Amino acid sequence: VSILVLNGPNLNMLGTRQPEVYGHTTLPQIEQMCRQLSEELGISLAFEQSNHEGVMVDMIHASKGVHDAIIINAGAYTHTSIAIMDALASVELPTLELHLSNVHAREEFRHFSYISRVAIGLICGLGPAGYLLSLRAMVDHLGVKA
Ligand code: DQA
């Protein structure tokens, strides 16, 4: 089993980016946590980040036949990108939507998500722990024995 964790724009700035909202943990630290859990669960992990919508679309297309599921924190593209939603729909892989912050407790424009339309579920507001919970949830969903 192989899972792609795909991070969108500005998530490379974690650690110093609005720490009152996103905390002090960096993306490489989150990746490390995910790698450790993936080893424990016996799954393969691809962990990617891009600030570019089209690059994310390409990465989603490339995941077909390579990965079994996608966990996506699409950052601000969550709220704007029909292209990323369509890309996820086109590869027909189980997709879990993830956010560090509780988007529903924040500005109105963060309440709407294109990703939710094509996701099996959503984890938000739990910080970096959400990445680990997402991996466990996806492994459960895929019916993989941990
Ligand atoms: C985010 C929430 C988005 O609204 C925001 O644009 C981000 C990060 C989160 O992880 O909380 O860039 O996806």
Q: Would you say the CB of residue 75 lies under 6 angstroms from ligand 1?
A: yes
Q: How far is it, in rounded angstroms, from Cα 61 to Cα 93?
A: 10
Residue 69's contacts (CB-CB under 8 Å, 6 or more residues apart) are 1, 3, 4, 93, 94, 95, 96, 138, 141, 142
Could you give the C-alpha distances from 25 to 13, 17, 46, 127, in angstroms and in order? 10, 10, 19, 9
- Dist. CA 101 → ligand 1 center (Å): 7
99 assigned to active site: yes
Q: Would you say the CB of residue 78 lies under 6 angstroms from ligand 1?
A: yes
Mean pLDDT of 22-28: 95
Q: Would you say the CB of residue 100 lies under 6 angstroms from ligand 1?
A: yes
113: which 2 tokens? 């998500």
Q: Is 95 helix (H, G, I), strand (E, B) or coil?
A: strand
Could you give the C-alpha distances from 117 to 89, 90, 120, 124, 130, in angstroms and in order? 9, 13, 9, 16, 20
Give the percent of the chain with pLDDT over 90. 94
pLDDT tens digits along 58-112: 999 999 999 999 999 999 999 999 999 999 999 999 999 999 999 999 999 999 9
pTM for the full model?
Answer: 0.96
Average pLDDT, the chain: 97
Structural domain span for residue 47: 2-142
Q: Is 86 annotated as a binding residue?
A: yes
Look up the ipTM and state it.
Answer: 0.99
pLDDT for position 94: 98
Of 67, 77, 99, 114, the catalytic one is 99
CATH number at residue 124: 3.40.50.9100
pLDDT for position 145: 60
Q: Is 45 annotated as a binding residue?
A: no
Q: Would you say the CB of residue 103 lies under 6 angstroms from ligand 1?
A: yes
pLDDT band at 144 (very low <50, low <70, confident <90, very high): confident
Counting the structural domains of the chain, the total is 1
Mean pLDDT of 139-143: 96
Report the amino acid identity of residue 50: S
Residue of higher predicted confidence among 20 and 79: 79
